[in-house]
Structure 1
Amino acid sequence: MKTIDLSGKWDVVSSCKQYSWVSDVPGSVLYDMDKSGSMGEGGAFYRNNNRKAPELMDRDYIFRKTFELSNEFFEQYDKSSSRIVLEADGLDTLTEIKVNEVLVAKTKNMHRSYSFDIAELLIPGGNSIEITFLNSLEYIKREHARRPLMAEDPEGITTIPGFYTIRKSHCSYGWDWGPQIPDAGIWRAIRIVRYDDCRFNDLRITQSHFSDHVVLDLSAETEHWGEKEFHIIGTVTSPSGHEIPFSFSAAENTKIRIDKPQLWWPNGMGEQYLYIVLADMTADGVVSGTVEKNIGLRTLTIARKPDEWGETFHFEVNGIPLFARGANYIPEDIYLNRMNEERTERLLGDCSEANFNCIRVWGGGVFPDDYFYDLCDRYGLIVWQDMMFACAIYDMLSDEFTENISEEIRDNLKRIRHHASLGLICGNNEMEWFFVDYDTFPQTKENEFEYIKQYHMVIPEIHKEICPEIFYWSSSPSSGGYFEEPNSPDKGDCHFWEVWHGNKDLSEYKNHYFRFMSEFGFESLPSIKTIESFTSEDDRNIFSPVMEEHQKRVGGNPKIVSYLSKYFRYPKDLDSLSYVSQLSQSDAIRIGVEHWRRNRGRCMGSIYWQLNDNWPVASWSSIDYYGRWKALHYGVKRAYDNILLSIDGVGRQAVIHLSNESNKLTRGTLSVRLISLDGTVLNEQSLTVECQSWSSAVMYTFDLKDGISPESAVLSAVYQCEERTYESAHFFEIYKYFDLKKPEITFVFKNWGDERSELTLSCDKPAIYVELDLMEGDCVFSDNYFHLFPGDEKKIQIRHLGNSPESYESFRIRSLVDSY
């Protein structure tokens, strides 16, 4: 096998000849134009500059490259037993490909990888390749007019109409959290490869689990063109380094027994042990291809069984029911080529640090790169993988479209099926629900047929062919498909938006139990540092045009303020408004998560919307575009911990619960204090409590005595077990009615500047929602947006990021009373 890498420098020119430059591939048109200043001073993120993208993309762009092929590349080439192909892992999206001025292919799918035979077109010496990226805006306008189908945002308020007609990242045409960036380009690797005699495409690995061993079934997926007989020779290497050799004919398969297997577990349940499977395809002692995979030994499925509430829906890992804790993942950047392994590892590492064990890849973006799944394997994050279909009906009457998406699904399921983290394959986002419950999505028999064909025939047949061992779910939310109560609280998974879109109070979460909550969310502003990155000083008003431009949900900023006003006093400035909006967001998600964890067994999953942003924006994310943790991410770190101490209050009564997602009983001391606003302890109790593994139970009930007004004191609960402390607090009245006193918070740093330094805090009066931050630079604290009470000493570990300053002079600490 010989490979010519075609990445690097390409010449690019627009069809109108107005724009031309030299591009780095992988790359994209808008990424390059942004760097050159064509998106405006400050780039696409600054002020309203993102609006320029659609006009810039309303034309074709041609990428050209010349390359040399040596005589050696063609030596002993025999067309009967060799192949020379152009391999493209990602072309966005509508292309015409020419090699040496001869048309090779046309493509229509950014989610696919392509391979084209070009042997007859190449010559020793100089060669050329030209890829024309056709105007996708013109295409979707034409296709939408030809056959308009029902889709989200039909008026085109935030999304360009017709996004569903093309196999391209839907959110590149805008979404209610992202700008319209309908980019184009070679976004993944591209190369020319010569294969002699064979091509080793994949090694399929399936597992059979027994009480004391696991059996791997290995089969090679190959192409070969000559007379040679090929064998697969390799090893399975255990986490401890023990090697098990294997050898079998490429036309057959083999079974490998692994005794005393080291099992893979999700985060919080055990270790993420991975085995290395290395296989060479050989003939006559010559290696013609190699495949290497990391696999985890585990059983992983969704358990659906009748019970007293309806039907269960939960992940079951190695026989143990799991309460899923995670968030919805969207593309990390408007420019896909700017995403990389280091950046994704930081994001997924932040998920692991916040006690996630699950992540849902939302269906309106792209299939992530291989390293995303490798990282999920390593961090123990179960992947709920949507296929890339969201909020629209698709033209399944077209044979061409059906074949196109079929190849897309085959490509990607083959690529990711071996991963230990892959737990569920989902057909689409929200379409079954839209059919049944949304008046704006009128049903027709033709559309129903297309839906059933796509999600109950075409995709399941491919799934059965490629990876039947992975659980398939036709839609999210769903109760099992075929339009039967798709958002039922009694079976399947649910999306719940009555809080936020429906304007219901935060307490509305506690009126619903659900079996698995796969989408719910609440918006906030990003930090003031992020706001300053995209605004001028005159823009820094929540209702300014620029602030509303960086809020893609229509009416989103007024709703942030409306919800905030229900519970908090109005903040004194934009900086404080950002801070309090994040408290509001964190409280909302916390209330839902704590309620569902208290009802473990009935509800078995919480996946909130959304984890991340693809640009700096006011949104539902818990981590903003620049990787800054919002209050929500710190909040879910507490709410997603294996041990959760939570308080459910009604009126003057507060019920204290422990939830235990660990594999052993927890026993410790529960301390309960009622503390007045001047710091006086009005009531104090201490008792020994315990909670069984995989359970939730009431530990203590506190009644506020007559004569104590609800807004005059705070209930603090602390659970101490072994070396860990868990905290919770309850307010008998909403925050804005508390006459908080300004606390004096003292703090001492230790080892500032080390990779991890420490901060110790104490106070003289209750400090509510203490925020720690650096005004210059960034870091992650072991806890933040917490309550601090007199007599307590809190130690915080600090993880410094790359731009953290040398001193702590820019360190800022504030609490809720400082916001008004």
Structure 2
Amino acid sequence: MNITKLNDFWALHEAPLSWDRQYLSDINRQKEGWYQCKLPVDVRMPLMDAGVIKEPLEGDNSYESQWIEERSWWFVKHFSSSDIRMDADVIELVLEGLDTNSDIFLNDQYIGSHQNVHVPFICEIKRFLVKGDNRLTVRLTSGLEHISIQDLAEIDCAVTAESDFSDSDRGDHRRTMVRRPQYNIGWDWGPRLVSIGITGQALVRTYHKIAIREVGIETKEIKRDGEKNQALLNVMVNAENLNIVDTVDCDLEIVIRKDGKIAAGKTIPNILLTSGTNYINQELLLNEAELWWPAGYGRQPLYQVEITARCKDMVESWPVFHYGIRKISIDTSAMEDETRNFKFIVNEQEIFCKGANWIPNDFIYARVTEEKYHTLLEEAIEANFNMIRIWGGGLYERELFYDLCDEKGLLVWQDFMLACGAYPERQAWFENEIRSEYTYQTKRLRTHSCIALFCGTNENHWIFSNPEFLDRWKIKPSYQNQYGLWIPNVLSKEVVWMNCPYIPYWNSSPYGGKNANDLDCGDAHLWSHGFVSNDI
């Protein structure tokens, strides 16, 4: 795989919201009103640089830029074919973060639309490229404009918003019907500052003959022999044969290193790859294995995992990653007083978890620096944390976040991004978006030793068993109308079981016992018990 990054030298233009993708030629004719930027970017960033708006998080400035969500925003990037392996079998465009509804064009040809910030846009573009200069155009809007009163009626408008409980203007009932960050539409702890932008990297990647599409690794067993450990790992590699008709022969090499020395390795020679995807599982035994522990319980040794496929004169490698050997589970066994445990068990040892919610670091999250991640997570360690919960109203974090949690021994309770409201689960398009999102995120995160648990929602089970909310909305959730709870009760479990059954799953937070916030079972949010949670 060869990668060409397209992060620099973008231009941005503002247009009326009504200018949909049919207005591309009008945008191309614009000579003035362009802002320069680089990725990742939220539209407010170049607008601030140009003095058009003030810093939205100072004073009441957030109100002065709310007009941004009522416009369409057009990003343009020129790049040369000379930067790309044009003779490749497959050439893919990857846009890692599109916030939120988007139309994408290459050389004025419409190549697709995207409506989910939590999963990248990927498109095979070889047929659209030309020799010399190529022009990539992306139209973006908030996505809220597509949601109607009729759409909200399907979920009985059963969505919490700060404006429902006070005279605040924060919140928007349409938010749950758009796969975008929920928090910056306005939450109890922050303003309405709707994000729009290309908030991840843009790149072109090329493949010849084969492509490694995914990798998984699991600690299947740890055996102790005195003071030494022996670990049995299973490595899964999905190798795609790009020839849609012919088979191809391939050698697959797996190497696991520690401190530069090979700890385990295996070559599987002469594998027959059939057209399309090929799933290959291989077990490796590590003698004198060093175990990964949460902070305060031991060290965090990380092994380097290298995976290479060789097909005649073609070599394809998966990006090298680090992995800590550990097994994790949740003990929910019954106790003598008929309450239940809720304990995290790592390497057969109970862990007393200490930490806090992690919310997005900025309402303009595209501008969060790597330095800020390092600082905040180091402060978490200094505060004696060993667990961070990624709150379900925000974002799946960048790879850097999880890498640092691996290094520092911070367990991650990872919410899926559903929070405080009903979701249109009976709409086929929405189910497809959620399934695609969860599949992508579980496959991305499963190799991180810090991932302690996937969790279905933030507070949804509690809300839809709470008389205060049910009376307000005049609804009665049932098996026939679950107001979105089918997603965490069924769909999420299916995806986790398919992609990483060795990572625990929990339906929601809070969840367990009666009314989903029972102190006798599962986890609880202590709003009604005299405590208030702290976010970082």
Shorter-chain-normalised TM-score: which range? Answer: 0.7 to 0.9
Q: Which residue number in structure 1 is paired with residue 130 of structure 2? A: 123
Q: Secondary structure at the match of 1:172?
A: helix
Amino acid of the structure 2 residue aligned with 1:486: A
Alignment equivalent of 1:307, drawn from 313, 322, 335: 335
Q: What is the CA-CA distance between 1:202 and the residue it aligns to? A: 2.0
Distance 1:322 1:143 in 2: 48
Change in Cα spacing, 1:68 to 1:179, as seen in structure 2 (3 Å) is: same
- Listed as ranges, the matches of 1:266-281 within 5 Å are 266-281=294-309
Confirm whether residue 609 of structure 1 aligns to residue 504 of structure 2: no
Q: What is the CA-CA distance between 1:144 and the residue it aligns to? A: 5.2
Change in Cα spacing, 1:304 to 1:282, as seen in structure 2 (3 Å) is: same
Q: Which residue number in structure 1 is paired with residue 522 of structure 2? A: 492
Q: What is the CA-CA distance between 1:452 and the residue it aligns to? A: 4.0
8 A Cα contact 1:98 1:129, kept in partner = yes
Amino acid of the structure 2 residue aligned with 1:118: I
Confirm whether residue 214 of structure 1 aligns to residue 242 of structure 2: no
Q: Which residue number in structure 2 is paired with residue 56 of structure 1? A: 68
Distance 1:165 1:56 in 2: 20
Q: What is the CA-CA distance between 1:485 and the residue it aligns to? A: 3.0
Amino acid of the structure 2 residue aligned with 1:318: N
Q: Secondary structure at the match of 1:178?
A: coil
Of structures 1 and 2, the one scoring higher in RCO (CA 8 A, sep 6+) is 2
Q: Which residue number in structure 2 is paired with residue 73 of structure 1? A: 85
- Listed as ranges, the matches of 1:90-129 within 5 Å are 90-129=97-136
Distance 2:181 2:397 in 1: 12
Q: Secondary structure at the match of 1:204?
A: strand
Alignment equivalent of 1:36, drawn from 50, 58, 69: 50
Q: Secondary structure at the match of 1:138?
A: helix
RMSD, matched Cα:
2.1
Q: Which residue number in structure 2 is paired with residue 15 of structure 1? A: 15
Q: What is the CA-CA distance between 1:118 and the residue it aligns to? A: 1.3
Task: Give unpaired runs (5+ residues) of structure 2.
Answer: 17-29, 225-229
Q: Secondary structure at the match of 2:520?
A: coil
Confirm whether residue 247 of structure 1 aligns to residue 267 of structure 2: yes
- List per-residue Cα deviations over 1:155-212 (Å, max 9, x = no partner): 4632123111100000120111112111211110111222111111222111122323
Q: Which residue number in structure 2 is paired with residue 467 of structure 1? A: 500
Q: Which residue number in structure 1 is paired with residue 255 of structure 2? A: 235
| Amino-acid identity (%) | 27
Confirm whether residue 297 of structure 1 aligns to residue 311 of structure 2: no
Alignment equivalent of 1:390, drawn from 413, 416, 419: 419
Distance 2:11 2:485 in 1: 45
Q: What is the CA-CA distance between 1:491 and the residue it aligns to? A: 0.8
Alignment equivalent of 1:152, drawn from 134, 154, 160: 160
Q: Secondary structure at the match of 1:406?
A: helix
Distance 1:340 1:400 in 2: 34
Task: Give unpaired runs (5+ residues) of structure 1.
Answer: 500-507, 509-519, 522-607, 613-820
Q: What is the CA-CA distance between 1:145 and the residue it aligns to? A: 4.7
Q: What is the CA-CA distance between 1:232 and the residue it aligns to? A: 1.9
8 A Cα contact 2:97 2:119, kept in partner = yes
Q: Which residue number in structure 1 is paired with residue 443 of structure 2? A: 414
- Listed as ranges, the matches of 1:419-430 within 5 Å are 419-430=448-459
Amino acid of the structure 1 residue aligned with 2:283: K
Distance 2:401 2:300 in 1: 15
8 A Cα contact 2:39 2:199, kept in partner = yes
- List per-residue Cα deviations over 1:675-695 (Å, max 9, x = no partner): xxxxxxxxxxxxxxxxxxxxx
Q: What is the CA-CA distance between 1:234 and the residue it aligns to? A: 3.2
Distance 2:285 2:190 in 1: 49
8 A Cα contact 2:40 2:367, kept in partner = no
Q: Secondary structure at the match of 1:444?
A: coil
Q: What is the CA-CA distance between 1:496 and the residue it aligns to? A: 0.8
Change in Cα spacing, 1:343 to 1:115, as seen in structure 2 (3 Å) is: same
- List per-residue Cα deviations over 1:436-481 (Å, max 9, x = no partner): 124223323377434342112111111110111010001111116x
- Listed as ranges, the matches of 1:446-485 within 5 Å are 448-479=481-512, 484-485=514-515
Scaled by the length of structure 1, what TM-score is found? Answer: 0.58
Alignment equivalent of 2:185, drawn from 159, 170, 173: 173
Amino acid of the structure 1 residue aligned with 2:159: A
- List per-residue Cα deviations over 1:718-777 (Å, max 9, x = no partner): xxxxxxxxxxxxxxxxxxxxxxxxxxxxxxxxxxxxxxxxxxxxxxxxxxxxxxxxxxxx
Change in Cα spacing, 1:114 to 1:135, as seen in structure 2 (3 Å) is: closer
Amino acid of the structure 1 residue aligned with 2:5: D
- List per-residue Cα deviations over 1:587-618 (Å, max 9, x = no partner): xxxxxxxxxxxxxxxxxxxxx421x2xxxxxx
8 A Cα contact 1:143 1:165, kept in partner = no
Amino acid of the structure 2 residue aligned with 1:20: W
Alignment equivalent of 2:41, drawn from 19, 22, 27: 27
8 A Cα contact 2:9 2:36, kept in partner = yes
Distance 1:46 1:167 in 2: 27
Amino acid of the structure 1 residue aligned with 2:534: W
Alignment equivalent of 1:162, drawn from 158, 170, 174: 174
Amino acid of the structure 1 residue aligned with 2:329: T
Distance 1:72 1:35 in 2: 31
Bigger shift: residues 134-143 or 385-394: 134-143
Distance 1:284 1:240 in 2: 28
Q: Which residue number in structure 2 is paired with residue 354 of structure 1? A: 383
Amino acid of the structure 2 residue aligned with 1:138: E
Q: Which residue number in structure 2 is paired with residue 721 of structure 1? A: none
8 A Cα contact 1:236 1:245, kept in partner = yes
Alignment equivalent of 2:477, drawn from 438, 444, 459: 444
Distance 1:31 1:293 in 2: 32
Q: Which residue number in structure 1 is paired with residue 345 of structure 2? A: 316
Distance 2:214 2:251 in 1: 14
8 A Cα contact 2:464 2:477, kept in partner = no
Distance 1:58 1:452 in 2: 31
Q: Secondary structure at the match of 1:332?
A: coil
Change in Cα spacing, 1:53 to 1:71, as seen in structure 2 (3 Å) is: closer
Distance 1:19 1:54 in 2: 19
Distance 1:357 1:241 in 2: 29
Distance 1:28 1:338 in 2: 8
Change in Cα spacing, 1:450 to 1:223, as seen in structure 2 (3 Å) is: farther
Q: What is the CA-CA distance between 1:151 and the residue it aligns to? A: 1.1
8 A Cα contact 2:12 2:37, kept in partner = yes
8 A Cα contact 1:393 1:447, kept in partner = no
Distance 1:186 1:436 in 2: 38
User: How many positions carry a matched residue from both structures?
Assistant: 496
8 A Cα contact 2:162 2:186, kept in partner = no
Confirm whether residue 399 of structure 1 aligns to residue 441 of structure 2: no
Change in Cα spacing, 1:91 to 1:447, as seen in structure 2 (3 Å) is: farther
Q: What is the CA-CA distance between 1:95 and the residue it aligns to? A: 0.2
Distance 1:383 1:72 in 2: 38
Q: Secondary structure at the match of 1:273?
A: coil
